[in-house]
Chain A
Amino acid sequence: MAFLKVNNLKVYYPIRGGFFRRVVAHVKAVDDISFELNQGETYGLVGESGCGKTTTGRTIMGLIKATSGEVLFENQDLLKMNRRDFNQHRKDIQMIFQDPYSSLNPRKRVLDIVAEPLRNFERLSPAEEKKKVQFYLEKVGLNPEAIYNYPHEFSGGQRQRIGIARALTLKPKLIIADEPVSALDVSVQAQVLNFMQDIQKEFNLTYLFISHDLGIIQHMCDRIGIMYRGQFVEEGTSRDIYTNPQHIYTKRLISAIPDINPENRENQMKLRQEINSEYKNSYDKYFNAEGKVYNLKPISDTHLVALP
């Protein structure tokens, strides 16, 4: 039984135009994707900017209305639930936002920020609440005495930790992390990522990890789905993707990961150029007449590729 199963999800944004501002076309931000997450794993969603990753995450979260499809969480369709039932499930799915600045209300103290979900779902005395908030702040590596401070007094990495503490208070099972470190300094990114892995073990979390950076995904994820213009081009375990990429788009993404070792730079440049020319030459092989990708086909137990 899958923990989270997304079936044929489509999210279209209407484009209005013409004289009467009628809907004249759609942006197919997410165009028929299916994938599933197993409990305890980290699933990576990768693709260039604008390919629909955020839309996917936010639709699962219920922040964006899906056009069609199913999101089965523990076998119940979140998209068909009424508000009240959905709110109960809210506790199980939480989100870490990309921008640590705008995702914390500047007018609220850390205590009020972290306690917000508790106040919605649990009735705690102020003392209990404070204890709980301090507990989670300590878990994310912040000074528990800082509860009366305001967000602007913290650095980006620390703010992201506050956001994580807030998500943790409801003891969620699934966390959707939308580019959680891309707004942070490179020096802080690794810290936050490591720490996310630590709490994953401690709280037995499942991650849907969204990023445009395959390097980060490689570091974090068990399985990976590659998105291109709202669709999947390839899915597999980290190993499948990194050692045996099949789709030209995946290959391109991998070749674009910067190599830390300077000696390999030249090699990499060459590889990149090769792949780029292959991308141009064999475009027809990977994309159909409309420029869309083909349906996913299994090439092993774990590995799916969109090939004709």
Chain B
Amino acid sequence: MLKFILRRILVMIPQLFILSILIFLLAKAMPGDALTGQLASNPKMDAQTLHELKQKLGMYDPYYVQYARWIKGLLHGNLGMSIIHQTPVTSLIAGKMWNTVLLGAAVLILSYLIAIPLGIIGGRWTDTWADKMIVGYNYLTYATPLFIFALLMLFIFGFVLGWFPTSGSVDIRVENGTFAYYMSKLNHLILPALSGAIVSTTVTIQYLRNEIIDTKIKDFVKTARAKGVSESKVYTRHIFRNSLLPIAAFLGYDIVSLIGGSVFLESIYGYPGIGQLFLTSIMQRDFSVVTALVMISGLATLIGTLLSDIILSAVDPRIRIE
């Protein structure tokens, strides 16, 4: 087991290295940097000062020097300066990171809260009308793209019914740290989190339902029944325990899909997080921010997959062989 984890981490290192090179090259390939962009808008900027500024920032150094500098910075937690905002990228990201983490956690929790009961009901009472509804729900949410769903939710609950705020992460009029502040945060969180959660329940429900249907007819369950254990105890003691465990393994993969999802959710709900920062940065050609965000997302993807692989291998030893 430990060997598997170690080997899995060892594989990560070259992957990270290649990822960093790829991102660095991409950053270099981006057309027009933010400085050149200011040439037109900023009257104090002329070609000469621009040139000097670029020299000062080391933008004319050979690529490998720039790469080494960038990596060194990365390792020190220094992601460079945002040229647009004139602040360190790290603090820029840190400010938004918590919103995204909050949103992501809310999506995950809600999605498990919806998926697990539905999966259990579907698995336990297969082919009842409730099960059929669940299968239908599953099929609908699987086929619906996140951005359409989120938009419809926003339109219906935000605008038509007016139940929820339609933009932002908190009401700016309430004072930071008060009870009203947290309630406002929660209020802003519900709609985006619910949209994200509902479309990401499919895999869990389907897995759980199938697992339970399969376990139901296994011998140890039959034995328990034959011994006169009551039906509900058979489920809580024997079946759920076996079927719920692998669900944990999806956690890592869920994190991976959340990264893409947050871009849509935050853009639709005007929610100030990493996804929105990424979109605005790329439109403003603030590429030090873009590269930092892609790198962080790559790292998160890597860790997410690692997490799931490890949990899976703990749950099911057969996987370790591959």
Contacts and interface: CB of A to CB of B under 8 A. Distances in A.
Contacts of A19: 3, 6-7
A-side binding surface: helix, strand, loop or mixed? loop
A143 to B, nearest CB: 43
A19 B6 CA distance: 9
B221 to A, nearest CB: 33
Interface string A1-26: 00000000000000000010000000
Interface in B1-25: 3, 6-7
Nearest to B7: A19
B-side binding surface: helix, strand, loop or mixed? helix
Contacts, number: 3
A230 to B, nearest CB: 25
Q: Report the contact-size class of chain A (Cβ under 8 Å from the partner).
A: under 10
A19 B8 CA distance: 11
Contacts of B3: 19
Contacts of B6: 19
B14 to A, nearest CB: 14
Contacts of B7: 19
B45 to A, nearest CB: 55
A19 B7 CA distance: 7
B35 to A, nearest CB: 47
B8 to A, nearest CB: 12
A19 B2 CA distance: 11
A2 B7 CA distance: 52
B36 to A, nearest CB: 48
A139 B41 CA distance: 90
Nearest to B10: A19
A276 B1 CA distance: 42
B2 to A, nearest CB: 11
Interface in A42-68: none
Nearest to A18: B3
Interface in B201-235: none
A221 to B, nearest CB: 40
A4 B198 CA distance: 69
A75 to B, nearest CB: 44
B6 to A, nearest CB: 7
Nearest to B3: A19
A23 to B, nearest CB: 16
B317 to A, nearest CB: 16
B69 to A, nearest CB: 33
Interface string A220-247: 0000000000000000000000000000
B285 to A, nearest CB: 44
A16 to B, nearest CB: 11
B231 to A, nearest CB: 41
Nearest to B6: A19
A19 B4 CA distance: 9
3 contacts: A19-B3, A19-B6, A19-B7
Interface of A: 19
Q: What 3 A-B pairs come out closest when comparing CB atoms?
A: A19-B3, A19-B7, A19-B6
